[in-house]
Structure formats: C-alpha cells, structure tokens
Amino acid sequence: MKVAVFSAKPYDKLFLSKYAADTAIEFTFYETSLGPDTLALCEGFNAVNCFVNDDLSVPVLSTLKDFGIRHVSLRCAGFNNVDIKQAEALGITVTRVPAYSPESVAEHTLALLLTLNRKTHKAYNRVKENNFSLQGLMGFNLHGKTIGIIGTGKIGLAVIRILSGFGCNVICYDPIQSEVVIQSGGRYVSLASLLENADIISLHCPLTPETQHLIDRTAIQQMKHGVILINTSRGGLVATQEVIEALKSKKLGGLALDVYEMESELFFKDLSSEIIQDDVFQRLLTFPNVVLTGHQGFFTEEALTEIAMATINNLLDYQSGTINPDNRVMTAPD
C-alpha cells in the first residue's frame, strides 16, 4: 500500500518508518503540507496521511477522489481541518488517532501554566547573566486556586488529575458529564459560573462551529479581573484580537497558548530568518505576561510512538475492511 505522508518532519519519518518496517505499507514523505497547490503529489497513492494544518477542504477532497484515493488517515486527534460531510459524500473514509497519551498535552498545559505564573523563562535568562534579582518574578500558589476546565474528555481529565494533586479547586464545564471526572476531584458547573469564578481557565474542548471563538469579548467580560487563560486545544477557540484587547486593559492577567488560530502559516517551520507578516501574532509576542509555544503539546516520545502505531493500524485495518469504529471520523447522525 502506497501512502503519501504530508507535513512530514524528521521525527514523523523516524517513528512511522520504524513501526511500518514489517508491514506492506510504503510511505513517501513530503515536508510540504497538503493543499490545492500540492495535490499533484498525491497521484498514484492509495492513501494520504495528514496532520493538523493540512487542508482537507472540499476541492482537495474532490481531487483526491479523482486520483482514486479513498482513505485519508490523520496522525492527530483533532479533525477540524477536514470537511467530513464532503468526505462522506465522496466515499472517502477518514481515520484519526483519537487517544494518544493525553498526559503529553496535559503535562504541557501545566508546563505553560507554571512558566507563566513562576516566570521560569525569565529567571533562566537572568541567572545566565548573573542577575539574581527577584524583582518582577513573583507568582502565586496554585494550591487553593479555582481552576476552570472547559472540556473534560481525555486531556481535560488528565489535567484535572494533576491539578487535584496541586490542591486546586477544580470546576468544569462539558455538555457531557463524566463520573470519573467527579471521582478525580472535578465539580461540574454551568459555563457562566465557570467563567465567573475561575482564577485560571484551561481549554480542552474540540474546535467545532459551536466552539469557534468560545472565548470572545463577551465571555471575557464575565471572567474575574486578572484571570489567566491557557489554550492547548485549538487556536480557533479563542478570538485572538479580543484577547489582545483584554490583555491591554489588564482584564486578562496572563495568557499561555500552544495553539493559535492562524498557526498554519507559522507553526512547525523555522522562520527565524523571515519577516513575520502576522501582526496579531507579533503583538502577542510583545506582552510580558504571554507565553507561547508552537503546538508542541503532543510532542513526547510516548505520544509519537502511540500515534505511529495507531496510524499504521488504521491504514492496515482500512485495507482489510475492519476499521476500529473509535478511530473513524463520521458526521453525527441527524
């Protein structure tokens, strides 16, 4: 089976090649992303394998069908970049890796929160220059603080477990409540109550038409003054320009992002010698109370191993006609 892998980085090649070694899968790795301009690269393949910022919109899917490709395999959990309805209409099966080490993203969420709060990134640079002044480095205890978790699926639950260990008061919002979340120390409240009462808010719900810009000016107005916002889920959950306004007015006391709504132009590339054209992202970088990482929540050895193994299983399962229903992406029944 010939599979074209898009947005392939050296670590993707390493992990996918290693776990496909004894299979009939033949990977061709393309560093470029999949989109209208790179579609020609897909000709002659049985399947494409894509990542978070590959473009799987209607025109791309239609051409894939014309090339005889009936399987889009995602090596990620989120699928907001795929037009699922259109894929179904075209008879293209979409598979993903719904669960891979949720702890990888949960632990990165904590890394961002602790960095933002205790300013370890600034302290590291100061100490390197023999500057041992503590002025400006004061943080606060997480112990006893109220943390609001929006989305209590696999990653949200892993974050709740860690925060319960810190002695936080964890309040949660999710349209589907989970008993294990309650047993792990989470208390479900309404979204309005969470926004009103949390000292720190962390986003762990998927990006859907309903959650697009969930955190906008109206939501921010309901929050406590000085609230801290963490987003390791998907950039589109946050209306970035409105969050910048809230940082300028100090309504928002801190912001940590691993994801950004226009990230497809920036992330996963070395642009250190380029002129960045995205003024909104550049404005975010100027705030002393903003910490940004480039979508690296998933980036642990354990997660990459699980992603590679599940991706290969999905490809082989599709070929043998026995797809794991949990790994197949389908539109919700009407």
Active-site residue list: 234, 263, 295
Taking CB under 6 A as the binding criterion, the range among 64-72, 119-127, 172-180, 266-274 that sits at the site for ligand NAD is 172-180
**Cβ distance to ligand NAD smaller for residue 45 or 100:** 100
Please identify, among the stretches 7-15, 57-65, 110-118, 229-237, the one whose residues bind ligand NAD according to the rule CB under 6 A: 229-237
Answer whether 308's CB lies under 8 Å from 16's CB.
Answer: yes
* Three-class SS state of 2: strand
Structure tokens at 125: 């640079």
179 touching ligand NAD, by CB under 6 A? no
Q: Which residue has 């029944």 as its token pair?
A: 333
CA angle 189, 191, 195 (to 5 degrees): 100
Binding track over 130-169 against ligand NAD, x by CB under 6 A:
--------------------xxxxxxx-------------
Tokens of residue 124, six digits:
């590291």
Minimum Å gap between C-beta 90 and ligand NAD is: 24
Q: Is 186 in the site for ligand NAD (CB under 6 A)?
A: no
Residue 78 binds ligand NAD (CB under 6 A): yes
Complex with ligand NAD: residue 175 or 321, whichever CB lies closer: 175
Judged by CB under 6 A, how many residues of this single chain contact ligand NAD?
A: 29
**Interface with ligand NAD, residue 101, by CB under 6 A:** no
CA distances from residue 191 to 43, 188, 270 in whole angstroms, order as listed: 47, 9, 38
In the complex, minimum distance from the CB of residue 238 to ligand NAD, in angstroms, rounded to a whole number: 12
Other Cβ atoms within 10 Å of 320 Cβ, number: 7
Neighbours of 269 (CB within 10 A): 13
Binding-site member from 174, 261, 263, 306 for ligand NAD (CB under 6 A)? 174
Taking CB under 6 A as the rule, does residue 295 contact ligand NAD? Answer: yes
* Closest C-alpha among 62, 295, 332 to residue 209: 332
**Contacts (CB under 6 A) with ligand NAD, residues 254-273:** 258-259
Query: Which among 141-149, 182-190, 205-213, 266-274 is the span making contact with ligand NAD, rule CB under 6 A?
Result: 205-213
CA 149, 152, 154, 160 torsion-angle sign: positive
Shortest separation between residue 188's beta carbon and ligand NAD, angstroms: 11
Tokens of 210: 């309903």
Side chain identity, residue 265: E
- Length of the chain measured in residues: 334
Q: Which is nearer to ligand NAD, 190 or 249 (CB)?
A: 190
- Tell me the C-alpha to C-alpha distance, in Å, between residue 230 and each of 109, 140, 186: 7, 16, 18
The answer to whether 202 contacts ligand NAD (rule: CB under 6 A) is no
Q: Which two tokens stand for residue 143?
A: 């112990």
Burial class (CB in 10 A: 0-12, 13-18, 19+), 143: exposed
How far CA 210 is from CA of 96, 191, 205, 237, in Å, comes to 21, 14, 11, 9
Nearer to ligand NAD by C-beta: 138 or 176?
176
Residue number of the CB atom closest to ligand NAD: 153
> Of the two residues 91 and 175, which places its CB atom closer to ligand NAD in the complex?
175
Task: Tell whether residue 232 is a contact of ligand NAD (CB under 6 A).
Answer: yes
Interface positions with ligand NAD (CB under 6 A): 77-78, 102, 105, 150-156, 173-176, 204-207, 210-211, 232-234, 258-259, 295, 297-298
